[in-house]
């Protein structure tokens, strides 16, 4: 059975696509906190991968009139996915995928350090940054010097850490795909952290006064100087994140070309955000729509819904469901905290769960083990009226940040 359920709220309605998927009590309370804000338009939509987050719930869609909540957008601004199909098939892959994984790790470094000097990257990528993104960042830093811009170029083309990843996958016809997940790196984090704190300060300073049940729901109002400054900065970070994914994809494809037989790319390529804010029109009003851990799924829009490392992932096409604000989930969603996953699962559990994937099998990734996430099949069943599945992918190589 598809469709949404209604979560009781004293504020705006909450429509949740969560049938058959567990949801924490903490997440429900967060949703009610958001729904109670005075500038919510129509309702709050909840995706089946929903789980507790900072300020606002991951897996929620928040339409606001005349206001934006920086913590709802988050600090990994513009985080999202990219995927491309290739003409390679499973038979073109070597018996051992370890050399391919190592080649990818060299081309697109993980962790929190710099990504090199572009010596092996397409010149157009660095040129585009210097000619467009760089100038925009300079304007932002001039107004807000606490947002350092010195890491932006160095970290472009790098993976980062946490739940970010690069994968080589096979679809239902055994064709090879490359898929990756990353965002706006250290500079985007600085933008988000800085403006979240400024929003808290503004909340305390306003003459009219507003009550919010959580300080992380502090917001900027249209007409305030910091509102425009935040919009400029957040749109920069979203564009940077998209460029970062494109450059990483360029580098990963270089690794494949150096390691595997010659191939071409298919026409299908997807590059989508799932932590961002945009101006959109819904239910007759132009609003600021924040998708926190959610993907645009307008009629015909292509999106990516990854499972955990070792589980299935999906290329999907949106159905344009108006009640969801044309949105779908951004993944399987965590079933437990990182600390709980480390407490509950052993390294042996992780090795067994990822036996079919060339990936890290060490203590440092137990918090990302497949069992720490919700059942991706249940998540997909709960949103069958939001998207249709175009391709089903299974991982054979996974590079984790």
**Residues annotated as part of the active site:** 330
Dist CA 365 CA 374 (whole Å): 17
DSSP characters over 246-259: HHHHHHHHHHHHHH
Q: Who contacts 197 (Cβ-Cβ below 8 Å, separation ≥6)?
A: none
**β partners of residue 89:** 175
State the Cα–Cα distance between residues 112 and 204, nearest whole angstrom: 34
From residue 396, alpha-carbon distances to 183, 299, 368, 389 in Å are 23, 31, 16, 20
Alpha carbons 250 and 107: distance in angstroms, whole number: 9
| CB-neighbour burial class of residue 124 (10 A; exposed 0-12, middle 13-18, buried 19+) | exposed
| Cβ atoms of 380 and 289 closer than 8 Å | no
135: Cβ contacts below 8 Å, ≥ 6 apart: none
Bridge pairing between strands 14-16 and 44-51: parallel
CA separation for the pair 372, 365 (Å, rounded): 11
**Are the CB atoms for 81 and 306 separated by under 8 Å?**
yes
Torsion of CA 312, 325, 35, 207, to 10 degrees: 120
Is residue 234 within 8 A of residue 240, CB to CB? The reply is no
Query: Between the CA of residue 87 and those of 173, 349, 397, what are the distances in Å?
Result: 11, 35, 17
Which residue is associated with the tokens 């920069």? 236
Give the list of residues 6+ apart from residue 220 with CB closer than 8 angstroms, or none. 67, 68, 70, 195, 199, 202, 226, 227, 230
């Amino acid at each position: 059975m598809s469709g949404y359920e209604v979560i009781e709220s004293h504020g705006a309605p909450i429509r949740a696509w969560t049938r058959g998927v567990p949801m924490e009590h903490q997440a429900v309370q967060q949703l009610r906190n958001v729904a109670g804000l005075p500038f919510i338009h129509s309702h709050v939509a909840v995706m089946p991968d929903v789980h507790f987050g900072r300020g606002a719930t991951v897996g929620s869609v928040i339409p606001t009139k005349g206001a934006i909540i920086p913590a709802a957008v988050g600090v990994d601004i513009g985080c999202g996915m990219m995927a491309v199909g290739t003409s390679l098939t499973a038979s073109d892959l070597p018996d051992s995928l370890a050399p391919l994984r190592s080649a990818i790790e060299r081309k697109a470094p993980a962790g929190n350090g710099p990504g090199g000097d572009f010596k092996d990257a397409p010149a157009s990528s660095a040129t585009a940054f210097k000619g467009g993104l760089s100038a925009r960042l300079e304007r932002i830093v001039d107004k807000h010097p606490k947002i350092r811009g010195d890491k932006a170029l160095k970290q472009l083309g790098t993976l980062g850490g946490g739940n970010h990843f690069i994968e080589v996958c096979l679809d239902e016809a055994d064709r090879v795909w490359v898929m990756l997940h990353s965002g706006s790196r250290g500079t985007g984090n600085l933008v988000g952290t800085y403006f979240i704190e400024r929003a808290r300060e503004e909340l305390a300073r306003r003459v009219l006064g507003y009550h919010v049940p959580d300080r992380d729901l502090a917001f900027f109002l249209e007409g305030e100087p910091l509102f425009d400054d935040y919009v400029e900065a957040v749109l920069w970070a979203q564009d940077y994140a998209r460029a970062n994914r494109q450059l990483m994809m360029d580098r990963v494809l270089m690794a494949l070309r150096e390691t595997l037989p010659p191939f071409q790319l298919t026409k299908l390529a997807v590059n989508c955000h799932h932590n961002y804010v945009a101006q959109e029109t819904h239910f007759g009003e132009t609003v600021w729509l924040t998708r926190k851990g959610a993907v645009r799924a307008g009629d015909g829009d292509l999106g990516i819904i990854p499972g955990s490392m070792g589980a299935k992932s999906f290329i999907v096409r949106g159905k344009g469901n108006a009640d969801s604000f044309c949105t779908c989930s951004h993944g399987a969603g965590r079933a437990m905290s990182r600390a709980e996953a480390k407490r509950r699962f052993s390294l042996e559990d992780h090795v067994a769960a990822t036996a079919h994937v060339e990936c890290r099998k060490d203590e440092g990734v137990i918090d990302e083990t497949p069992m720490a996430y919700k059942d991706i099949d249940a998540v997909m069943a709960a949103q069958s009226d939001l998207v249709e599945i175009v391709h089903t992918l299974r991982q054979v190589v996974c590079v984790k940040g």
